[in-house]
Chain A
């Protein structure tokens, strides 16, 4: 089993926290997950908060960043924070993937320990998109 892939959700309001809580109801508790809200934070405040979470991880940790809406402040702050990371860390930081939803998150939690990251990322995009249907 490879080293755990950490998941960090950066979202508006309590969305990330609640997605993780909901995933826990379905899958049970999982380690190496965290959520960060943009609530009340300026652009720089949110970038600093993201950097704080990134720097709190072990030096050799792999990380996948998940954000909600493309072009919104969590997405922008995430990209700005990643751009300020040292190259050696940046190589183990993946994403951000935008539009995080429950199917995508459940797949990430279930498959992150068994699927190499280069295969996991396209799989997550597929699962996230496949979760949006006109159900009849």
Chain B
């Protein structure tokens, strides 16, 4: 099954990993992946590290956030799943002019100072503030680690 040509933006502090390549792209027939991270795009070691992630029918590109914001201003040629690390990166994309309508929150894991929202979503006060800013600016935030998972409204979850 091939997904329609559109951008899907996922927030996940593991970035590209099995759940992304196998759980999303393979299941939904998404051929293009973008790992958007300003540190990783500049690291040959990290680009090589993530190059082993995509399956045979998938292509992975590396971009900085500025490049992704620009790319998202036009529809992709094929369905493309872009992955960013967290809420501050999403806010940065918005500031750079990316037309963010919906962001899938796929995984923000536990860390010092974070509170648990769901089993795959833990937020620090700073992350929560960024998520609230995104929602206040009209971005629809949906908690959904996998295609078959229930779509949870972060607006409701965060209270």
Binding site for B on A (CB under 8 A): 12, 40-45, 69-73, 75-76, 79-80, 83
Contact = CB atoms under 8 A, between A and B. Distances in A.
Interface string B107-124: 111110000000100000
B136 interface: no
B49 A45 contact: no
Interface of B: 13-15, 17-18, 21-22, 45, 49-50, 52-54, 107-111, 119
Contacts of B110: 40-42, 45
A57 B54 CA distance: 33
17 contacts: A40-B110, A40-B119, A41-B110, A42-B107, A42-B110, A42-B111, A43-B13, A44-B13, A45-B110, A69-B22, A71-B52, A72-B53, A73-B17, A76-B49, A76-B50, A79-B49, A83-B45
> Which 7 residue pairs across A and B have the least CB separation, nearest first?
A72-B18, A71-B53, A42-B109, A42-B13, A73-B17, A71-B52, A43-B14
A15 to B, nearest CB: 12
B interface SS class: loop
Contacts of B21: 71
Nearest to B21: A71
A118 B17 CA distance: 30
A45 B18 contact: no
A8 to B, nearest CB: 19
Contact of B52 (A43, A44, A70, A83): A70
Contacts of A76: 17, 49-50, 53
Contacts of B15: 43
Contacts of B119: 40
A12 B109 CA distance: 15
B109 A73 contact: no
Nearest to B107: A42
